[in-house]
């Protein structure tokens, strides 16, 4: 599931200990992010609670300096179910003249380890000027990168965002001012400055963070990329490893050594393994197993598959629902039409294909 913004809200409360915002989302297993901006130096002992009973964690704090300090706090929670008019309450130990909240959900995120592990994240900054920002680098591609800022009560306008970023919510007046924004990046980022361009120079507190995409249930270590398409999944792993992926009607496993990338078409999957090992691919009514010794995997057409494991031999052709395979000296081939079975036994290995 791709990362996406899933619901958002903003709310302001004047001269109070608490602020209550209401958030509705559409997806289960969201990361819920909340920024709270208040007119005072940082207060210890702040808390967050909500009517859905989520468990909240403080993630980052950014504070401006001076007599009119502004504090921005970032909190997050994991919501296993979609939220319906969830009341999120932020509580201060001491009354602040104003509290502003920015809340939103992120779907498609990793709920076990939600944030990018790069040491630059989260980033905080206190900036006086018209371009408050903080700089991060990411470890993962496909991150949901987001930022928020808070400033004093002088009316100001956001005149620009970093390229590609989208505004979530803003509060340009009735202090504290603030806004949040996001962008989903498909590549790893290095020294990315994320912030806002403002119409008025003010002391601002900024937080920038990044949420990672869920793995989709496929974990590959030291292997090439995993590709998912429709109801088929193709994966590759290093020598001596085993990998089983199940997706709809397709199951395959492989542990190649120097074999080529596995390919799939329609509801068929072909897997290949090194000499002396066994691999099984199941897709609908088609089964293909292959044990090549430096051979090439050829192709598939319609509901028919053919495979080979020759040593210097050529594969002939296939037509309709028939398969013709050729093997080196000493191998046996048995072909039966209609319900085709091709068995081939190259040196030191066994190979059976059923279709």
- Inter-CA distances, 321 with 116, 269, 296, 298, 305, Å: 50, 16, 22, 16, 9
Burial class (CB in 10 A: 0-12, 13-18, 19+), 328: middle
Residue 28 Cα to chain centre, angstroms: 15
| Phi-psi group of 302: left, alpha or beta (phi > 0 → left; psi -120 to 50 → alpha; rest → beta) | left
Q: Is 112 helix (H, G, I), strand (E, B) or coil?
A: coil
Measured at the CA of 295, the angle between CA 335 and CA 334, to 5 degrees, comes to 10
Statement: residue 343 has pLDDT above 60: no
Question: 174 falls in which pLDDT band (50, 70, 90)?
Answer: low
| Lowest-confidence segment of 104-108, 126-130, 228-232, 321-325 by average pLDDT | 228-232
pLDDT at 74: 98
- DSSP E strands: which ranges in 130-176? 133-136, 143-151, 158-160, 166-171
196 compared with 280, residue with greater pLDDT: 196
Mean pLDDT (the chain, rounded): 72
pLDDT tens figures, 283-318: 333 333 443 444 344 333 333 333 443 344 343 333
Mean pLDDT along residues 1-5: 95
Note every long-range contact of 127-131, with CB atoms under 8 Å and residues 24 or more positions apart, other chains counting: 127/195, 127/203, 127/204, 127/206, 128/64, 128/201, 128/202, 128/203, 128/204, 129/201, 129/204, 130/197, 130/198, 130/199, 130/200, 130/201, 131/195, 131/196, 131/197, 131/198
Question: 1 falls in which pLDDT band (50, 70, 90)?
Answer: confident
pLDDT at 330: 41
Contact 15, 99 (CB under 8 A): no
Statement: residue 322 has pLDDT above 50: no
pLDDT tens figures, 57-103: 999 999 998 778 999 999 999 999 999 999 999 999 999 989 999 99
Identify the sign of the CA torsion 228, 229, 233, 234. Answer: negative
The 8-class DSSP code of residue 109 comes to: B
- Closest by alpha carbon to 146, among 3, 48, 23? 3
């Amino acid at each position: 599931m791709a990362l996406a913004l899933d619901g958002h809200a903003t709310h302001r409360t004047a001269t109070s200990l608490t602020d209550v915002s209401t958030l509705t989302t559409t997806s289960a297993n969201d990361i819920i992010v909340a920024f709270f901006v208040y007119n005072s130096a940082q207060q210890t002992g702040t808390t967050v609670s909500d009517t859905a009973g989520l468990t909240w964690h403080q993630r980052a704090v950014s504070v401006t300096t001076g007599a009119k300090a502004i504090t921005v706090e970032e909190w997050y929670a994991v919501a296993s179910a979609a939220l319906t008019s969830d009341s999120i309450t932020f509580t201060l130990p001491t009354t602040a003249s104003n509290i502003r909240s920015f809340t939103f959900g992120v779907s498609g995120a990793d709920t076990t380890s939600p944030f990018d592990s790069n040491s630059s994240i989260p980033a905080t900054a206190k900036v006086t000027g018209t371009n408050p920002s903080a700089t991060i680098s990411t470890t993962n591609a496909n991150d949901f990168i987001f930022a928020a800022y808070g400033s004093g009560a002088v009316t100001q306008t956001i005149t620009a965002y970093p390229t590609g970023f989208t505004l979530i919510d803003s509060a340009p007046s009735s202090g504290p001012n603030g806004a949040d924004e996001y962008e989903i990046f498909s590549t790893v980022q290095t020294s990315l400055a994320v912030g806002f361009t403002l119409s008025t120079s003010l002391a601002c507190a900024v937080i920038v963070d990044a949420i990672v995409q869920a793995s989709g249930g496929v974990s590959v270590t030291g292997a090439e990329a995993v590709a998912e398409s429709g109801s088929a999944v193709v994966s590759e792993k290093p020598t001596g490893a085993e990998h089983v992926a199940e997706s709809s009607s397709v199951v395959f496993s492989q542990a190649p050594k120097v074999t080529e990338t596995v390919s799939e078409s329609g509801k068929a999957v072909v897997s290949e393994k090194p000499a002396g090992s066994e691999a099984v691919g199941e897709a609908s009514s088609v089964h293909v197993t292959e044990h090549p010794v430096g051979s090439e995997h050829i192709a598939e057409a319609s509901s028919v598959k053919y495979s080979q494991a020759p040593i210097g031999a050529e594969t002939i052709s296939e037509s309709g629902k028939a398969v013709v395979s050729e093997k080196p000296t000493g191998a046996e081939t048995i072909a039966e039409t209609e319900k085709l079975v091709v068995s081939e036994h190259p040196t030191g290995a066994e190979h059976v294909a059923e279709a």
